[in-house]
């Protein structure tokens, strides 16, 4: 299957290829529990995500579309964000402030000036993978744009302690896969950067280079989990429900009462 911008997110492409977002649907991250049955339902089309985004997500998507060069298409697809004079509604004006802050910084714009939305595929760990790079500097580096609540926010988990937002949302996994797919296609292992912009009252920006050791660890994790995901996609093994995602809530069938001690889940 040949991928293009038009079919990259199609059901056919998602059945044929693994992607970082699909991997995280199955495996989860520290910030979001994975759900195997939900992931398969998305792939076969029996579960379609609610496209109604929160204001915060809409702001992030607007910034993403601007740097992708698809902002006019985004406005047409989401007319609810615009006033009658075609300017942004006040609650989404933060998006323009974030963009303006990025444009004031020479280094940030330099990092985002690579080839936009570059699609690559590769055979990796027994699976065909697809990636779409936000800003690709051939022979130099891979850059991915991330909007976030706060660049320096710490997240705490009892088993591992305090972590940053890259670990929380699986961005080291993304960097590892992108780096390896590019290496397979070009023969060159490139550094992976996050171009981060926050949604805080005063917008913060950073260019963050992911340590190679952390990318290497993440790639080992992907290698370990990929065969199991392929078994799930092929129907060789039955998926496990997480019990807490929107899909599980919607499809839940009660068979009897639960104990009150079960409400907190595993501690």
How many whole angstroms separate alpha carbon 175 and alpha carbon 115? Answer: 17
Q: Is residue 61 domain-resident?
A: no
Q: Is residue 253 domain-resident?
A: yes
pTM, to two decimals: 0.93
Q: Is residue 93 domain-resident?
A: no
Q: Is residue 32 domain-resident?
A: yes
Residue 60 main-chain phi, psi, to 5 deg: -60, -40
Q: What is the SS3 assignment for 47?
A: coil
CATH code, 243: 3.90.320.10
**Number of CB atoms found within 10 A of residue 151's CB:** 19
How many whole angstroms separate alpha carbon 116 and alpha carbon 133? Answer: 7
CA dihedral 172, 164, 106, 120 (to 10 degrees): 20
Task: Kindly give the parts of the chain with pLDDT less than 50.
Answer: none
Q: Is residue 129 domain-resident?
A: yes
**What pLDDT is attached to residue 262?**
87
Question: DSSP characters for the chain?
Answer: ----TTTTTSHHHHHH-B-HHHHHHHHB-SSSB--HHHHHHHHHTSS-------HHHHHHHHHHHHHHT-HHHHHHH-GGGB-TTSSBPGGGHHHHHHHHHHHT-HHHHHHTTSEEEEEEEEEETTEEEEEEEEEEETTTEEEEEEEES-TT--EEETTTEEE-HHHHTTHHHHHHHHHHHHHHHHS----EEEEEEE-SSS--EEEEEPPHHHHHHHHHHHHHHHHHHHHHHHTSS-----SSSHHHHHH----S---GGGGG---
Q: Is residue 72 domain-resident?
A: no
Q: Is residue 244 domain-resident?
A: yes
Instruction: Name 125's Cβ contacts closer than 8 Å, sequence gap at least 6.
Output: 222, 223, 226, 227
Alpha carbon of 246 to those of 33, 41, 55, 239, 243: distances in Å? 12, 12, 19, 16, 9
Number of domains in the chain: 1
Domain that holds residue 153: 11-52+105-264
**What pLDDT is attached to residue 266?**
63
Q: Cα angle vertex 28, ends 188, 212, to 5°?
A: 30
How many whole angstroms separate alpha carbon 176 and alpha carbon 17? Answer: 17
Selection from 209, 214, 98, 187 nearest residue 149 by Cα: 98
How many whole angstroms separate alpha carbon 60 and alpha carbon 234? Answer: 34
Question: DSSP characters for 193-215?
Answer: EEEEEE-SSS--EEEEEPPHHHH
Convert the pLDDT of each residue in 85-118 to its tens digit. Answer: 888 888 889 999 999 999 999 999 999 999 999 9
């Amino acid at each position: 299957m040949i991928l293009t911008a038009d079919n990259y997110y199609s059901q056919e492409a998602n059945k044929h290829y693994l992607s970082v977002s699909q991997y995280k649907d199955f495996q989860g991250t520290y910030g979001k529990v994975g759900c195997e049955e939900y992931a398969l339902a998305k792939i076969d089309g029996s579960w379609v995500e609610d496209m109604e985004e929160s204001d915060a997500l809409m702001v992030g998507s607007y910034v993403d579309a601007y740097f992708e060069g698809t902002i006019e298409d985004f406005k047409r697809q989401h007319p609810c964000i615009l006033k009658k004079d075609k300017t942004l509604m006040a609650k989404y004006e933060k998006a323009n402030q974030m963009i303006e802050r990025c444009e004031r910084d020479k280094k940030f714009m330099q990092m985002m000036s690579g080839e936009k939305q570059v699609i690559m595929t590769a055979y990796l760990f027994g699976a065909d993978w697809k990636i779409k790079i936000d800003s690709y500097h051939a022979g130099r580096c891979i850059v991915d744009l991330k909007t976030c609540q706060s660049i320096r926010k710490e997240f705490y988990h009892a088993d591992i302690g305090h972590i940053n937002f890259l670990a929380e949302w699986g961005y080291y996994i993304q960097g590892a896969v992108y780096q390896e797919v590019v290496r397979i296609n070009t023969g060159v292992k490139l550094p992976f950067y996050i171009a981060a912009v926050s949604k805080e009252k005063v917008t913060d920006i950073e260019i963050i280079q992911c340590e190679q050791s952390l990318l290497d660890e993440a790639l080992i994790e992907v290698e370990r989990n990929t065969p199991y995901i392929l078994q799930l996609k092929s129907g060789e093994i039955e998926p496990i429900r997480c019990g807490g995602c929107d899909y599980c809530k919607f499809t839940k069938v009660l068979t009897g009462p639960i104990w009150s001690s079960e409400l907190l889940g595993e501690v």
